[in-house]
């Protein structure tokens, strides 16, 4: 799926410029240029009973997500990074549809986690955490942190927190697709292609990294599965990723 | 907000970092109108894309005005921005996103003002 033809446009420069400016036109250019990666996964998952339009939308949002997160300086080809992102998002979507065990991240539920995380980070940082830090710790977008704050102050729950007719009782697509950036881990996230590094980790760390980046589980989900607190899990994950990153640099 | 209430108006600087407010307002109002989670997520994408078209190349002191109006059909969001020289051209990727996430939309310019209008219908249960 790579396009290394020297006649191709200066995509690496587009990425550098996009990361610098956030220019929407550049984002669109990058998405369009790599659209074949998304199309590949649409075809690959096309026989699983999901309407084609839904699949295309999921894949498009996923590749936008990939473009927004990609750092060309990490030395990983975008097509590789995007493939993993799209594949992960679609697998997660199918898993959620199939298993029906996805814990819904409703705004009010998130509000409770927000309170806990705010206390933990305040204690650890010895200052009030920023919205961006809270979002990273909770593995959600800053928008959703702000919504969760709103949910905690609302006099009554709005329909944001209520299931709608036909809703499959799960997290919204956009939440899954547009809000899973681990702000502090983005660079390392892109190195997950280095499976050999993963193999050298102790078993528990390996499992946690695998669940986070290959199964795309959230930190709360992994903490529950592994049986540790979310804050402890966050430390284990960070340590494991830094370890992998260090060894990559050796 | 019900269909017969006054519209909500939001004026923000025409800069990308303020589009979050447009998204959050859309989500809040749509939730109030009884939209489901997926429709709300669609709306966030749609209003973000539409507003981004308006502010492209806008001056540093430009503002974008957004009007959110609940109607019998659903939620109508209109945006306008004084942006001389801007053309209502929509990149194919943005067009596709808008087509996927809004039930109807248009982008047009009148003089120096570029505007959009989008509609998200109330959901009809597919059973």
* Contact between A174 and B33 using a beta-carbon 8 Å cutoff: no
Q: What is the mean pLDDT of each run of 10 residues along chain A (250 residues)?
A: 61 90 92 92 84 88 90 84 88 63 53 82 86 84 78 40 37 37 39 60 79 78 82 85 72
Looking at chain A from residue 158 to 187, which residues have their Cβ under 8 Å from any Cβ of chain B?
158-161, 163-167, 171-175, 178
pLDDT tens per residue across all 127 residues of chain B? 666 678 999 999 999 889 999 999 998 899 888 888 778 888 999 999 999 999 988 888 999 999 999 998 999 999 999 988 877 789 999 999 999 999 999 999 999 999 999 999 986 544 3
Instruction: Specify if B127 maps to a domain.
Output: no
* A35: its two tokens: 């659209």
Instruction: Specify if B59 maps to a domain.
Output: yes
Strand order in the sheet with B104-110: B8-13, B63-70, B74-82, B113-121, B104-110
Please list every residue in chain A whose beta carbon sits closer than 8 Å to the beta carbon of residue B37. Answer: 160, 163-164, 167, 171-172
How many Cβ pairs closer than 8 A exist between chain A and B?
90
Instruction: Specify if B3 maps to a domain.
Output: no
| Residue in A closest to B91 by C-alpha | A28
Q: What confidence score (pLDDT) does residue B96 get?
A: 93
Domain that holds residue B99: 8-121
* Contact between A172 and B32 using a beta-carbon 8 Å cutoff: no
Check if A243 contacts B (Cβ < 8 Å): no
Contact by Cβ (8 Å): B59, B107: no
Question: Element (H or E) spanning A195, and its range?
Answer: helix A195-199
Instruction: Specify if B96 maps to a domain.
Output: yes
Domain count, chain B: 1
- ipTM, two decimals, is 0.75
Q: What confidence score (pLDDT) does residue B63 get?
A: 96
| Residue in B closest to A156 by C-alpha | B32
Give the CATH number of the domain where residue B38 resides. Answer: 3.30.565.10
Distance from CA of B2 to the nearest CA of A (A): 13
Q: What confidence score (pLDDT) does residue A108 get?
A: 60
* Contact between B100 and A32 using a beta-carbon 8 Å cutoff: no
pTM over 0.80: no
Residues with Cβ within 8 Å of residue A23, at least 6 apart in sequence? A17
Closest CB to A143: pick one of B23, B93, B126. Answer: B23
Q: What confidence score (pLDDT) does residue A151 get?
A: 64
* Contact between A163 and B36 using a beta-carbon 8 Å cutoff: yes
Please list every residue in chain A whose beta carbon sits closer than 8 Å to the beta carbon of residue B92. Answer: 28, 32
* Contact between A159 and B27 using a beta-carbon 8 Å cutoff: no
Radius of gyration of chain A (CA): 19
* Contact between B93 and A163 using a beta-carbon 8 Å cutoff: no
Instruction: Specify if B109 maps to a domain.
Output: yes
Closest CB to A172: pick one of B40, B52, B123. Answer: B40
Residues with Cβ within 8 Å of residue B80, at least 6 apart in sequence? B54, B64, B65, B113, B114, B115, B116
Instruction: Specify if B47 maps to a domain.
Output: yes
* Contact between A53 and B100 using a beta-carbon 8 Å cutoff: yes
Q: What confidence score (pLDDT) does residue A97 get?
A: 61
Q: Which of B14, B28, B93 to mutate to test the interface with A (most CBs of A within 10 A)?
A: B93
Rounded to 10°, the helix A107-125/A142-153 angle is 110
Looking at chain A from residue 94 to 153, which residues have their Cβ under 8 Å from any Cβ of chain B?
142-143, 146-147, 150
């Amino acid at each position: 799926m790579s396009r290394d033809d020297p006649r191709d446009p200066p995509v690496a420069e587009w990425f550098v410029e996009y990361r610098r400016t956030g220019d929407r036109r550049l984002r669109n250019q990058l998405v369009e240029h790599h659209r074949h990666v998304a199309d590949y996964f649409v075809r690959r998952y096309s026989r699983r009973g999901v309407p084609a339009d839904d699949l295309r939308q999921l894949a498009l949002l996923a590749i936008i997500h990939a473009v927004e997160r990609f750092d060309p300086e990490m030395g990983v080809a975008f097509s590789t990074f995007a493939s993993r992102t799209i594949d992960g998002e679609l697998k997660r979507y199918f898993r959620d549809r199939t298993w029906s065990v996805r814990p819904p991240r409703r705004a009010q539920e998130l509000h409770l986690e927000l309170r806990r995380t705010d206390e933990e980070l305040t204690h650890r940082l010895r200052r009030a955490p920023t919205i961006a830090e809270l979002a990273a710790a909770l593995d959600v977008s800053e928008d959703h942190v702000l919504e969760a704050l709103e949910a905690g102050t609302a006099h009554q729950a709005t329909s944001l927190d209520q299931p709608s007719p036909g809703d499959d009782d799960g997290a919204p697509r956009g939440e899954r697709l547009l809000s899973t950036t681990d702000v502090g881990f983005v660079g390392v996230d892109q190195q997950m292609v280095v499976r050999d590094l993963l193999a050298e980790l102790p078993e528990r760390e390996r499992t946690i990294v695998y669940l986070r980046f290959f199964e795309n589980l959230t930190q709360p989900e992994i903490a529950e599965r592994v049986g540790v607190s979310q804050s402890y899990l966050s430390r284990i994950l960070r340590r494991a990723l830094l370890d992998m990153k260090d060894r990559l640099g050796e | 907000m019900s269909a017969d209430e006054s519209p909500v108006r939001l004026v923000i600087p025409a800069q990308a970092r303020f589009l979050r407010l447009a998204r959050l307002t859309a989500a809040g109002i749509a939730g109030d109108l009884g939209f489901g989670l997926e429709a709300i997520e669609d709306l966030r994408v749609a209003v973000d894309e539409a507003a981004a078209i308006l502010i492209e190349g806008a001056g540093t002191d430009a503002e974008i005005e957004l009007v959110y109006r609940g109607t019998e059909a659903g939620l109508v969001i209109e945006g306008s921005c004084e942006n001389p020289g801007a053309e209502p051209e929509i990149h194919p990727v943005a067009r596709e996103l808008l087509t996927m996430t809004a039930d109807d939309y248009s982008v047009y310019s009148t003089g120096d003002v570029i505007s959009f209008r989008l509609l998200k219908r109330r959901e009809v249960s597919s059973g």
